[in-house]
Structure 1
Amino acid sequence: MIAVVVSRADYASEHIGEYLRSEAEWTEKEDNSRPDADGGGKYYRREGFELREFESLHLDIENVAEAFSNPEMLVFASRHSGDTGPLLTAHFTGNFGPAEYGGADGKLAETCPNAQAELLSAFDEHAPDAYEVGMECTHHGPSEVGVPSMFAELGSGDEQWGDSDAARAVARAILDLRGVEPTRERQLVGFGGGHYAPRFERIVRETDWAVGHIASDWNLEELGSPEEPGARETIRRAFERSGAEHAVCEGDYPELASVVADLGYRIVSETWVREVSGVPLSLATELETELSSVESGLRFGTAAGDAREFEIVPLPGNLLDSATGIDREETRKAVSEHTVAFETEQGGTRVAGRCAVRGAEDYDAIIGALAALLDRKYDEVERKPDEVVAREIAFDPEKARKLGVSEGPEFGKLSAGTAVTVAGETIPPEAVRTERTHRFSV
């Protein structure tokens, strides 16, 4: 069940609450065990949800899950304040530094990264045309909620808080969370960057990773030296409360990186996150050990999603170079479609080195695909057990010279297949052609 908190001290929250009740059928209940100001009195239930109202602002309510009937997740329906114009936004709560706006110093609430990713998608679907959708860093209380939680916000000023279409959009997005799990298998922590988090939003939208707590540049400034015991504990808690073993760091924070590693977690790049998306992490780790790192050019092939075993083989260098010269993208595709992983150079754009295949059939398929690319350049391509043989009939400048043809336009005509006349004698292109054979060991 998802608990929804509406604050009477927040007009936007009340407005969203009105549409939560009008957009779905609810059963009205009564709870006389708690004061009305603390979520007691009249409250609302429907399949998958319970909605209660509180007098205080959300950020001042600690352990609010206690007011609800065994929730699995909690959503604060809230306003967003700032100079950001029409905006629907989501974020997690707590403080990396001093608690200026609710919560406790250096304490972080438990996150629901999968639900936040789903909320962003629902915002996309329901947001009025004028509204942007975004994620924010962790920046205010409460620090203890009792279950995984997040803020779903309508911003950024009086005009938007009173906008019925926008309030309805937030309400519908919250209702779309019915049945959504709070967490997923792949979650990470974000460090660095601005208050709004486009890099981490990209990761959420474009990979199979979700993002928990985000400590922006100003959060890290508030945190202080990562090596101090209090800061170190807050960093540990960021991973724990995000259900994460990995982090992406935007900017250069060597002390932070050292502490993260010492705590047993790993800072990775956005490239790494993208490349291992869809690849079992245990397999990715093994391949990085056996071949090379993602950072140095390792890329994963189509077979990575279901590979159980693999063997490392060298790619045929000369054949690969020739195919790359014909069509770099198609060469990469040919290798990717038949490998578990493969090495690259030039920023991941050129296949080179070794690869991991499930067996001999995969390797043979690579050779066959590369040989097929040679057909674009050569007149005849033959696949043999240990080599690919390519033959071409090409213009031979030396033959042309012996027949009295001078370098220049006549060379070009003969090369293009057009006969030329020299000293009254017609020289057909066939007379100045030579068959060349190219052999590529495999």
Structure 2
Amino acid sequence: MIVRKIAFVASRVDVAASLMAEELIRITGSEEFSIGNAKAWLSRPEGEVLYAQSEEDLGADGADLIVILSRHSGVPGRPIITTHVSGNFGDAPFGGEPYTLSNACPPFMKLFLQEAEKRAPEVGFDIGFESTHHGPTLDTPLAFVEIGCGPEEWSNRSAARVVVESSLSALRRMLSADFAGFTHAVGFGGPHINSYFTKIQLKSPELAIGQALRRHDSEKASERAIRMAFERNFGPTEVAIVDWKGLRGKEKSRILGILEEMGVRVMRARNIAHSL
């Protein structure tokens, strides 16, 4: 998939997003700028991005890729920088459509975490790869890049700088002429921030995870949504990475049955992570 136009989105009601927007303008010098041969711009919608109904609501219509600058709440309760795609494997209590996923961008998320790993420790932050969750559910490939987990971290300008610099560096790498790409994969099982998946994103020279179904959502995940995860993953995806002990027996059997029917290659997350 060719990326020629990139929208950075930062809600005005999100403290962390607003700080990252300031850093983006400071670093690039403008709300409109170039990354390699791609045109990029910053959009500042008034409302919460989770409940956007369209790319136009985000000021991102016409973009080939959307990078959403955002705060992160909840686990693990310590300073962390994360990335994920939005979507709902089950119902939709926090925006988006039920049983529907946005398009993911595995190479950007992988490269973002690799770049963040270089910078985050110096400002006292961990990094992590999150599972697919909440809205919006859009057709344009997108990725959230986030600062968590509370008000103190959301107001940390150094962390905002790290997220912006890591995003720009990841995009430069992804858009460079010599970028060879990765084998895209879908993750299954384990906690919301899965250490196996995070390690694979950081260390595997070949695999890049986009969509990821956490254990918490596995029971209510529809077969339609599971199949959609492979269709909305930035191009053909034929690899499933399964956290074997991170799924309950009944749900693991059901999901593995769907994957077998689809004919995708199933790899064990623990084995991959331990080999890196």
TM-score tier, shorter chain, comes to 0.7 to 0.9
1:5 aligns with 2:9: yes
Q: CA deviation at 1:276?
A: 11
> Using the alignment, how far apart are the partners of 2:242 and 2:225 within structure 1?
16
Equivalent-residue separation in structure 2 for 1:65 and 1:254 (angstroms): 40
Deviations 1:215-250 (A, max 9, x none): 010010232xxxxxxx11111101111241110111
Report the Cα distance in structure 2 between the residues aligned to 1:3 and 1:85, rounded to whole angstroms: 29
Quick check: 1:2–1:178 contact (8 Å CA) kept in 2? no
Compute the displacement of 1:69 (Å). 6.3
CA separation in 2, counterparts of 1:162 and 1:4? 19
User: Do residues 47 (structure 1) and 46 (structure 2) align?
Assistant: no
Structure 2 residue 185 is the aligned partner of structure 1 residue 188: yes
Contact 2:196 2:270 in 1 (8 A): no
Match of 2:133 among 139, 151, 158: 139
Gaps of 5+ in 2: none
Indicate yes or no: 2:20 matched with 1:23. Answer: no
Residue 123 of structure 2 aligns to a residue whose secondary structure is coil
Rg bigger for which structure? Answer: 1
Matched, 1:267 2:266: yes
CA distance in 2: counterparts of 1:107 and 1:163, whole angstroms: 33
Matches within 5 A, 1:263-412: 263-270=262-269
Name the CA distance, whole Å, in 2 between partners of 1:268 and 1:87.
28
Equivalent residues of 2:71, 2:154 under 8 A apart: yes
RMSD of the TM alignment (CA)?
Answer: 2.3
Counterpart of 1:212?
210
Q: Distance in 1 between matches of 2:22 and 2:7?
A: 16
CA distance in structure 2 between the partners assigned to 1:129 and 1:45 by the alignment: 28
Q: Structure with the greater relative contact order (CA < 8 A, sep ≥ 6): 1 or 2? A: 2
Of all paired residues, the percent bearing the same amino acid is 29
1:85 equivalenced with 2:85 (yes/no): no
TM-score, with structure 2 as normaliser: 0.84
The one-letter amino acid paired with 1:269 is R
Say yes or no: does 1:174 pair with 2:178. Answer: no
Q: In the comparison of the two structures, how many residue pairs are matched? A: 252
Cα gap change, 1:62/1:179 in structure 2, threshold over 3 Å: closer, same or farther? Answer: farther
Can you give the 5+ residue segments of structure 1 that lack an aligned partner in the other structure?
27-43, 224-230, 278-442
- Aligned position for 1:281: none
Give the TM-score normalised by the residue count of structure 1: 0.54
For 1:138 and 1:172, the matched residues in 2 are separated by 23
Q: How does 1:122-161 map to 2 (within 5 A)?
A: 122-127=115-120, 128-144=122-138, 146-161=139-154
Equivalent position amino acid for 1:46 in 2:
F
Residue 66 of structure 2, aligned match among 58, 74, 79: 74
Deviation at 1:131, TM superposition (A): 0.6
Counterparts of 1:15 and 1:211, CA distance in 2: 28
